[in-house]
Amino acid sequence: MESPWKAISDDSRRQILLLLKEKDMTPTEISKHFQFTLPAVSIHLRILKNSDLILENKVGKNRIYSLNKAKALEMMNFFAGMWDYNLKSLKEFLENQKVGKR
């Protein structure tokens, strides 16, 4: 399993995730949105798959990729935690104001 944070450090891979957020796609469909070749897309997809950010489904000859929403949510919770930190600062600022004048 590869780090999903490493996987999204690449611009193109983030773009692919945004595409898959809209709908499931085959590598060929994805490559139409980019300048680069199908093999290049495949490499990006492999990295995203290995980090569990996307899921691969084989339908006949085709591989169809979809966003792994559970994993995306897990990463988002990391940022939600950042908000908890900021909100705690707000709470402390306001509640400390009462005690004594500043």
Stretch that binds another protein, among 31-39, 42-50, 58-66, 73-81 (CB under 8 A): 73-81
Give me the residue label for tokens 């897309």: 41
Stretch that binds another protein, among 32-40, 41-49, 51-59, 72-80 (CB under 8 A): 72-80
Q: Binding residue for another protein (CB under 8 A) from 59, 84, 99, 100? A: 84
The CA–CA distances, whole Å, from 1 to 6, 40, 57, 62 equal 11, 20, 18, 24
Query: By CB under 8 A, what part of segment 7-36 binds another protein?
Result: 8-9
Q: Binding residue for another protein (CB under 8 A) from 62, 94, 99, 100? A: 94
Comparing C-alpha atoms, which of 4, 23, 7 is closest to residue 73? 4
Q: Please report, as ranges, the residues that interact with another protein according to CB under 8 A.
A: 3, 5-6, 8-9, 72-73, 76, 79-80, 83-84, 86-95, 97-98
